[in-house]
């Protein structure tokens, strides 16, 4: 797993991140099955303000570039997520 910070891959944070990615992928696969075909981007938006977006890897650069612009240039995000 990769993130925008250096974390210990054996830490609780890494375990939770891996579980999140696995759950999102399972949701994405079920979404494709139930909705009748591939979907490049699937998101969940909750009334509490939490938001998760899951997509194929080829969209990562464009999405992360847009997220970087929203950060007003703050150097919080760096490779491997922002080129």
pLDDT digits (tens, 9 = 90+) for 14-26: 899 889 989 998 9
pLDDT digit string, tens, across residues 1-53: 666 677 888 889 889 988 998 999 898 888 888 887 767 788 889 899 888 88
CA separation for the pair 40, 67 (Å, rounded): 18
Determine the 3-state secondary structure of 4 from DSSP. Answer: coil
**81: which 2 tokens?**
């997520």
Q: 82 or 17: which carries more pLDDT confidence?
A: 17
Phi and psi at residue 29, in whole multiples of 5°?
-65, -40
User: 55: burial class by Cβ within 10 Å (0-12, 13-18, 19+)?
Assistant: middle
* Domain-wise residue ranges, the chain: 12-70
Q: What is the pLDDT of residue 22?
A: 92
């Amino acid at each position: 797993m990769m993130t925008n910070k250096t974390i210990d891959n054996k830490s609780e944070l890494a375990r939770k991140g891996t579980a999140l990615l696995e759950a999102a992928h399972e949701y994405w696969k079920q979404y494709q099955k139930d909705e009748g075909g591939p979907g490049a981007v699937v998101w969940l938006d909750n009334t509490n303000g939490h938001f998760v977006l899951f997509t194929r890897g080829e969209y990562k650069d464009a999405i992360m570039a847009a997220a970087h612009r929203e950060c007003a240039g703050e150097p919080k995000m760096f490779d491997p997520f922002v080129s």
